[in-house]
Structure 1
Amino acid sequence: MSRRTRDGHKGSGPGAISPDGCAVDLYSRLVAGAEPDVVAAALPAHATLLELGSGAGRLTRPLAERGLVVTAVDESAEMLARVRERVPGIRTVQSPIETLDLEERFDAVLLASFLVHTGDRRVRDGLLAACRRHIGEDGCVLIQREGLDWHTRVPREREDPSGCTVRIVSAEPVGDGVNSVVCEYVFPDARWTQTFLSRPLTKEAFEGCLSAAGLAVDAYLTDDGTWVRARPERR
């Protein structure tokens, strides 16, 4: 069953669907891969971390287990309820990311799940502005980018350690440099789909977006360039 969400975003399958088309029950089943190790290795021990777009806590729990002090932010109350189930006692904040202002600073901010590729430029700029206003001059932002051929190598599929088959079914242009992406997640007992808008960004375009938000690349953390650490730009 499909449910109405943001323009260009929708999801289908059992259970609640968040405004960006993510199925709460699906994201509660997904497990983390190497991402927590990449994030933890880029930060000091016991750093305070603001996780933007935590979803159901796929990364939240392993990051907390690695000693990071995590505050989880998501606009979905259902997603945050799952986070609190996974990590009892964790601080959660329900809010759209682009309007978030906690009036405090963290050692680091995490923007994972390719959120920087949102199709709406204003939302993307708002996401990066939220990252910048929540770190001090010695803080950093960790960002997950799409791979170089993410939109062109379709259709494709992989077996996820969560026990499902993940398929990128299509990535079709819808204008203004944006693609409509359709994903499918198939478990033995359930199937979900998600459709969302994504804007491919070259390395130069990505770094330009960071600069507009007062950030600059400090390091590309993985060989494929999909994980980036940025710091406040020195002007």
Structure 2
Amino acid sequence: MRQRPGYQGTGPGQFTPDGCAVDLYRRIPVRDEPQIIAAVKPPPATLLELGCGAGRVTRPLAELGYRVTAVDESAEMLAAVEGALDVRDGGPGIESVRSSIEDLALYRVFDIVWLSSFLVHAPDPEVRGRMLRACRRHVEPDGVVIVQREGAGWHTRIPRQNPIADGFSRVTASNDVGDGVREVHVEYDFPDAHWTQTFRSRPLTVEQFETALRDAGLFVERYLTPDGTWVAASPIA
């Protein structure tokens, strides 16, 4: 798939339209995402994972007892999702769906809808709105939408470095490209491989973030972590 304008990835292997390297995402380990989700609504439950990538969190969620429907626009990413099982019997497992988030129409609803990877910061407000409306139309009336957002100083604490398994990621730049959009450059170093990714992000204040959710028919129920990066939202009746 052709990479989007303003997005680029370099290094070995295949890439998604937003510059993500499939082989890189296969080696990034799970962090505390399953525990954050389980604290909001524990298994068993149905869970729609939007932007699942290579399944870094998908399999641990299924192992906890969730019935996960994992969505990604990249066939290469979906091919890397491990443990795919038929979930029609009602038990835990993984179902994969190839679709962009903003165009998703499954005509069913879920106990949990999860929008991670800072996707709410899409540079195009129309795309962001369509993503959030996809969250709203796929969540049960008494369900929850869990959203990951950028924390304070995300675009100003540059450079910064974080460990990843036997390597590390380094955010080296976040440059203003106009109209409130930033272009971010990240490098990933491992003993045997090096990748880079350039992508675009629209920073949102708390007020802008909450307004965007309300415009999509959602309201913030609570912030789940002290840094405010994980948020539980509910559908507006």
Q: Identify the TM-score tier after normalising by the shorter chain.
A: over 0.9
Counterpart for residue 9 of structure 2? 11
What is the match of residue 193 of structure 1?
Answer: 196
State which of 132, 135, 140 in structure 2 corresponds to 1:131: 135
2:96 maps to 92
Instruction: Give the structure 2 partner of residue 227 of structure 1.
Output: 230
Shift of 1:136: 2.1
Compute the displacement of 1:37 (Å): 0.8
Name the amino acid aligned to 2:70.
Answer: A
For residues 166 and 68 of structure 2, the distance between their equivalents in structure 1, rounded to whole angstroms, comes to 27
| Identity within the alignment, % | 58
Deviations 1:82-141 (A, max 9, x none): 01xx22312100001000010001001000000001111111111101000001211110
Give the corresponding residue for 2:163: 159
C-alpha contact (below 8 Å) 2:84/2:96 kept by paired residues: no
> 5+ residue gaps in structure 2?
86-93
Q: Distance in 2 between matches of 1:4 and 1:48?
A: 33
Q: CA deviation at 1:164?
A: 1.3
Amino acid at match of 1:44: P
TM-score, normalization by structure 2: 0.94
The answer for the alignment partner of 1:206 in structure 2 is 209
Match of residue 20 from structure 1? 18
How does 1:75-154 map onto structure 2 within 5 Å?
A: 75-83=73-81, 86-89=82-85, 90-154=94-158
Structure 2 partner of 1:58 = 56
TM-score by length of 1: 0.95
Amino acid at match of 2:140: G
1:131-187 CA distance string (max 9 Å, x none): 000012111100001111100100111212x22111001000001100000001100
Q: Which runs of at least 4 in structure 1 moved beyond 2 Å after TM superposition?
A: none
The one-letter code matched in structure 2 to 1:27 is: Y
Contact 1:46 1:69 in 2 (8 A): yes
Q: 1:170 aligns with which of 173, 179, 182?
A: 173
User: What is the letter of the counterpart of residue 88 of structure 1?
Assistant: A
Asked whether the 8 Å contact 1:5–1:20 carries over to 2, the reply is yes
CA distance in 2, matches of 1:164, 1:127: 32
**2:189–2:195 Cα contact (<8 Å) kept:** yes
- Report the alpha carbon displacement of residue 36 of structure 1 after superposing the two structures with TM: 1.4
Conserved? CA contact 1:13–1:192, under 8 Å: yes
Tell me if the contact between 2:84 and 2:95 (Cα under 8 Å) persists in the aligned partners.
no
CA distance in 2, matches of 1:232, 1:9: 32
Partner Cα separation in structure 2 for residue 79 and residue 88 of structure 1? 13
Indicate if the aligned counterparts of 1:168 and 1:184 stay in contact, CA closer than 8 A: yes
* Aligned partner of residue 98 in structure 1, secondary structure: coil
Is the 8 Å Cα contact of residues 97 and 127 (structure 1) preserved in structure 2? yes
Q: What is the alpha-carbon distance in structure 2 between the residues aligned to residue 149 and residue 87 of structure 1?
A: 37
Superposition deviation, residue 4 in structure 1: 4.7
Aligned residues: 229
